[in-house]
Amino acid sequence: MKSLLGGMRILLINSPNEVDVTHQNSNFSLFPHIGIVQLATRIKETFKSEVVIKIVDGGIVPLATIKSIISDFKPELTGISILTPSYIFGLEIASFAKKNKSLVIFGDDHAIFFPKIILEKRLYVDFIVANDVGEQPFFELIDALINKKPLSNVCSLAYRDEEGFIKLNPPKKYLLSQINTIPDLSLIEDVLPIYGNKYYQTYGHLHNQKYVRAITVNNIRGCENGRYRCSYCSIADLAINSGNPVKFWEMVHSYHEMYGINLFFEVCDSFTASSRYVISLLESMPINISKKIENGEIEFMVYARALGLLKKNNVDKFKRLGIKRINIGLDSGDSKMLEAQRKNKTSNETNLDALHLLNQADITVHGSFIFGALGETEESIQYTIDHIKHSINEVKFSSIEVSRLYPLPNCPIWDMMVEFRKPQFYKNTDEIISAIQAMNITIKQDIWDELEYKYSNQDLFVAEEMMLDWYKNFTHVDKTYVENCIKQIDEFISSNNINTGNNVG
Ligand code: B12
Ligand code: SF4
């Protein structure tokens, strides 16, 4: 496997998601994909001159250019980060890389959900890492390739054995407290200004600084709603997994000093998940950082649950941590819909209470709403529209995203639509049936069988078709109606100088 010149050439790509801009997240391509930088860092630190690594983010590099990079760089191993919506582009890249004689490996959420099916159906994919902390398995794979060790020892790896049988090695849980690779930004130094400038064009008006250099960081994962999880939440693992707070501040300090990073987006699934971690960050914050925060030279952004913000004096603590923007899944203005979305005791009142507190703390909000929860009606959509119109007077929104519900794998509504015989997030089929009936919906068995036949044991899904099936069978509204409502409310949001975008579909 060793190359003659230099080391083993490894190309890591975040699959592009080349969809109509109106279906893009309002934060799309404003931050580097930190997962692949983390993987590259770990490999470079360990294998040094034995590897030559290149990173390409499909958020800022179009598909055609990615193909040219493959032709020029001639990777021996191409690693692609795939999400369900970006999988189709990942496949195109994978097949192109294979034609260029590269081994191909997939990682990230979509790969984690379907390792065996992907290898069965896509002969041009060689490996899959089915672990959401991917550094150690990726290191073990490269070690096995370079040093000709057996693949059977590589943790969480799906591969074909010598006889062509598909194998999936058992996964391990990696604790960030033990090791959390600090991404080496020199690997993407040349493109950092691209993200910063794009970010500034979109959100510059919300900052006092003359420029923004933005990065995502990830020193804690998980969500306090993890055991129940929201109906559309497709995150692989929601258990709380936190890293060392002292090392976190060291990273912030070095990124700020070396690369001028002044906006840090901690992408923890919900920053209100661990009060202990928040306190440990406050207690370990170095004085020089707290001064920079006070002066507005360093800012943070996080995701959080509205209910969590109402507890434990969290808003005050977040303010002291320099958090200037919070992404909240507000989801609906109708409490019944919030229940249907499994928001676990969140109501439209608790959402408004959280917005008030954030307003007082001068923290802006990126709010997301979804039209099309189980049992959604025209009336409940109207409540949400009214709620959005009311909410914009309550707090400063950086963006409001109103999205269609997209049934992604590994979430409760996927159970409802596809895996109803063996659900992951409901006790059994009967529990699904009662949840559906509570929203005045009945699913005929032949429809369910049809949906199961269409979507189970597949790896590639047509988003628009899935949404159509969801709306038709699980809500009281049709897809076109929803799309028109979104168009209208988006116009209203934009006319108030607030960005719009899409969170899920
Ligand atoms: C931050 C975030 C964003 C940011 C991304 C900013 C950026 N450029 O990174 C924004 C808001 C822009 C965004 C956009 C989108 N996102 Co998003 N996002 C997240 C979030 C909250 C964290 C991701 C993250 O950075 N984690 C931290 C890093 C360190 O971990 P990681 O990326 O998972 O990478 C590790 C492993 O997965 C693995 N790995 C990753 N890639 C590879 C590749 C190889 C070869 C290997 C071996 C391993 C490997 O190793 C990495 C290091 O440990 C996740 C939720 C979650 N917990 O995963 C949702 C999530 C990934 N997003 C999701 C979706 C759907 C999207 C969008 C499609 C939404 C939209 N309609 O636009 C877009 C697509 C973006 C894209 N990549 O093209 C879904 C994906 C679900 C699925 N079934 O695939 C998630 C799970 C949220 C959800 N809805 O449940 N997202
Ligand atoms: S609050 Fe967010 S991270 Fe937590 S379960 Fe809901 S969607 Fe998932």
Structure tokens given for 100: 């260029």
The chain-wide mean pLDDT, for the chain, equals 95
Structure tokens given for 191: 């493109």
Q: What angle do CA 374, 379, 383 make, to 5 degrees?
A: 95
CA of 221, nearest ligand number: 1
Q: What are the pLDDT digits (tens) for 184-224?
A: 999 999 999 999 999 999 999 999 888 899 999 999 999 99
The predicted pLDDT at position 89 comes to 97
Ligand 2 binding pocket includes 305 (Cβ within 6 Å): yes
Structure tokens given for 201: 């064009």
CA of 463, nearest ligand number: 1
The predicted pLDDT at position 4 comes to 47
Distance separating alpha carbons of residues 341 and 308, to the nearest angstrom: 17
Whether the pLDDT of residue 250 is over 70: the answer is yes
Alpha-carbon radius of gyration of the chain: 23
Structure tokens given for 352: 């408004």
Q: What is the arithmetic mean of pLDDT over 432-441?
A: 97
188 secondary structure, DSSP code: G
Q: What residues does ligand 1 touch, defined as CB less than 6 Å away? A: 14, 17, 24-25, 27-28, 31-36, 38-39, 59, 79-81, 83-86, 105, 107-110, 129, 132-135, 138, 216, 218, 221, 233-235, 267, 269, 408-409, 502, 504
The predicted pLDDT at position 3 comes to 55
Distance separating alpha carbons of residues 323 and 328, to the nearest angstrom: 13
Q: What angle do CA 311, 312, 314 make, to 5 degrees?
A: 85
In the block, which residue shows the tokens 């109906």?
Answer: 231
Distance separating alpha carbons of residues 374 and 20, to the nearest angstrom: 26
Ligand 2 binding pocket includes 235 (Cβ within 6 Å): yes
How far is the centre of ligand 2, averaged over its atoms, from the C-alpha of 283 (Å)? 27
- Please, what are the domains in the chain? 8-168 (3.40.50.280), 185-405 (3.80.30.20)
Distance separating alpha carbons of residues 384 and 404, to the nearest angstrom: 13
pTM: 0.97
- pLDDT tier for residue 74 given thresholds of 50, 70 and 90: very high
- Of 98-112, 171-185, 381-395, 491-505, give the lowest mean pLDDT range: 491-505
Distance separating alpha carbons of residues 72 and 267, to the nearest angstrom: 33
